[in-house]
Structure 1
Amino acid sequence: MMKQFIFYFHLVLLVFTFSTPTLAQSPAEAPKPPAKPVPATPAPAPAKPLVPSLPQSPMTDSSSNQDIIKILRAKSFNTLIRLLKTTQIINQVNAELVTTKSGGGLTFLAPDDGAYSELKAGYFNSLDDRQQKALIQFHVLPFYVSSSNFDSLSNPVMTLASDKPNGYQINVTAYGNSVNISTGVVNATLTGIVYSDKTLAIYQVEKVLVPLDFSKPKPPAPAPTLANLNAPKSDKDNASAEDGDQGKTNRATSGANTINLISFHGTISVFLGVALVAAVTIPV
C-alpha cells in the first residue's frame, strides 16, 4: 500500500514538473510599429516693422529713461523742442506719459527742423494761442503704437488735440514698408523710428501735420430771434433814436431857411435890375 502511494506521488510530481513550463509560457506579443515623429510647430515669424529704423536710434526696452526733450535733442528737432516749451505742451505730454504708463502709453509723430522750414514764413505766429497748442497736440497719439502695429489702427485716429468726437483726427494707411499720415490738408510719411520702448514711441514724420480743422470756416453768427427784435429798447437806444429824430428836424428847418434866403436874395436882385434899366431909359 505504501509503495503504491509513493509510486503515485512520484508520478503526479513528475507530471506536474513537466507541465508547469508549458502552462507558464504565453504567446509572444506582436512587435509594435515604430512611433511616427511628430512634426515640430514652426515658431511664428516676428512682425515686420512698417517704419524703418534711423541710424543710431536710441531704442531701449527700459521705461526709466523717457526724457522726451533729451531724446529729441539728440536729433534735428530743435524747432519742435522750442515749440514744446513755449506752448508748455511738454508738461502735458509728460503728465500723460506718467498716467498712461501702466496701460496706454504715447506715440509722438515728430517733424524735424527741415519739415518746419517748409512752412510759410510766420505761419506759426499767425495762429492764436489755442491753435498753436492744438498744432503740437495734433502730433501726439494718446496711446502706444509699435512700428509693426500701424496696420491695426482704425481710421479716423484720435490725437491728443481731439477735444470732440470729430475734431483733430488723422487717417493712417500702412502698406508694404511704409506708413502714411493724412490730415485732409497734408499727406506725409513716417521716415524712421527715433525712439521706441514698451510705452513711448517717437517717429520722424517728413512734414508738419496741419489739421483740417484750421481750414474749416467758422460758423456764422446766429440770426436775431423774434424775441430780440421785439425786446424793449434800452435808454441808450431810445436816446439815440430821439437824437436821430431831432437831427432830422434840424436838418429840415435848416433846409427851409436856406431856400427862403435864396428866394429873398433873388427878389432883391430882380428889383435892382429893373431900377437900373429904368434909370438908363428915362431921359433927364
Structure 2
Amino acid sequence: MSSSFHFLFTLPLWLSLILHSTTTTVSQTTAIAPAPPGPTNITKILEKSGQYTILLHLFHMTQIGDQINTQLNNSDQGVTVFAPTDNAFSALKSGSLNSLSDQEKVELVQFHVVPMFLSTSQFQTISNPLRTQAGDTARYKFPLNITTSGNQVNISTGVVDTTVANTIYSDGSLAVYQVDKVLLPMSMFGPPAPAPVPEKESKKSKADAGDDSPASDVGSSNADASGVGSLDRNLYGFVLGVTETIAFIGMFYL
C-alpha cells in the first residue's frame, strides 16, 4: 500500500521533468537554426560604414543604388564600386555638384561603378581604360585607368589621380573600395575636346604653310628664273637679231 502511494505521489514530478526536458530541447533546436541570408544591399553596406552620406544621397537621387542591388541579385558578373567619402566630396570646388544637370549627376555616379566584380589581385592585370557604367572610354569622355605599384592601387581619370584607400566590402559578388577623391570624368571636368578641322580648311592650311616656307620661296624663284625669265630673254634676242638683219640688208638698197 505504501509503495502504490509513493508511486502516485512521485508520478506528477516525473511528468513535469519529462515535459521540461522536451521543451528545453525544442527551444534549443529552434535557437540554433540559422536565418537565411538576405540579398546584398549596397545602401546598407555604405550606411554601416558611416562616412558616405553624400554618395548615398546621390545613389538615392539617381536611383543607381537600386540598380546596383537589382544587378547584384540578377547577374553573375557582380559589381565593383569606388566609394568617395564625405571628405572627398567636401574637397570639391564649391558648387561643383550643383552645377551639374540631372543627367550629368547620373553619369558621375555611374563613373564610380564597374559592372563586374574586381578583387584587389585583379587590378594587377586589368585592361585600360576600364569601362564603367558611364560608358564611352574615349579620351575626352569617361576614361578610367588603373595601375598598381606593389600593393597600392592607383586610379587616374585624366582629371584627378587617387588611390584605393581601403576595402570596405568584398564577397565575390560585390566589391566596395574607399577612395579619398571623387572620380571626376574628362567629359565634365576636363579640357574641352578639340574641334574637328574641316577637310577643305585643312588642305588650305597646308598649302598656305607651304607658300610661306623658305624651301617654297626658293623653288618659286628658280621657276621664275628658269621659266618665264628665260623665255623673255630668248624672245628679246630673237627680235634683236631680226632687227639687225633687216638693217644690214637695207644697207645694200641705199
Q: TM-score range by the shorter chain?
A: 0.5 to 0.7
Matches within 5 A, 1:88-167: 88-100=63-75, 102=76, 104-162=77-135, 164=136, 166=138, 167=141
Give 3-state SS (helix, strand or coil) of 2:45's partner.
helix
Deviation at 1:168, TM superposition (A): 1.3
- Cα separation, partners in 2 of 1:97 and 1:119, compared to 1, 3 Å: same
Give 3-state SS (helix, strand or coil) of 1:157's partner.
coil
Give 3-state SS (helix, strand or coil) of 2:144's partner.
strand
Match of 2:248 in 1: none
Task: Name which of 87, 91, 116 aligns with 2:62.
Answer: 87
Task: Name which of 185, 188, 198 aligns with 2:162.
Answer: 188
% identical aligned pairs: 42
8 Å Cα contact 1:63-1:198 kept in structure 2? no
Aligned-partner residue type, residue 198 of structure 1: G
Q: What CA deviation, in whole Å up to 9, does each residue of 1:238-277 have, x standing for no partner?
A: xxxxxxxxxxxxxxxxxxxxxxxxxxxxxxxxxxxxxxxx
Give 3-state SS (helix, strand or coil) of 2:121's partner.
coil
8 Å Cα contact 1:63-1:199 kept in structure 2? no
> Quick check: 1:209 aligned with 2:183?
yes
Q: Number of matched residues?
A: 159
- Cα separation, partners in 2 of 1:143 and 1:67, compared to 1, 3 Å: same
Match of 2:53 in 1: 78
- Cα separation, partners in 2 of 1:217 and 1:197, compared to 1, 3 Å: same
- Cα separation, partners in 2 of 1:133 and 1:179, compared to 1, 3 Å: same
Runs of 5+ unmatched residues, structure 1: 1-61, 224-284
- Cα separation, partners in 2 of 1:217 and 1:147, compared to 1, 3 Å: same
Deviation at 1:94, TM superposition (A): 2.1
Report the Cα distance in structure 1 between the residues aligned to 2:59 and 2:197, rounded to whole angstroms.
36
- Cα separation, partners in 2 of 1:174 and 1:97, compared to 1, 3 Å: same
Runs of 5+ unmatched residues, structure 2: 1-35, 199-254
**What is the CA RMSD across the aligned residues, in angstroms?**
2.3
Report the Cα distance in structure 1 between the residues aligned to 2:96 and 2:47, rounded to whole angstroms.
23
8 Å Cα contact 1:169-1:183 kept in structure 2? yes
Aligned-partner residue type, residue 46 of structure 2: L
TM-score, normalised on structure 2? 0.58
Q: What CA deviation, in whole Å up to 9, does each residue of 1:213-262 have, x standing for no partner?
A: 11242786999xxxxxxxxxxxxxxxxxxxxxxxxxxxxxxxxxxxxxxx
8 Å Cα contact 1:170-1:181 kept in structure 2? yes
Deviation at 1:71, TM superposition (A): 0.5
Greater relative CO (CA pairs within 8 A, separation 6+): 1
Tell which structure's C-alpha radius of gyration is larger.
1
Aligned-partner residue type, residue 133 of structure 2: L
Higher helix share: 2
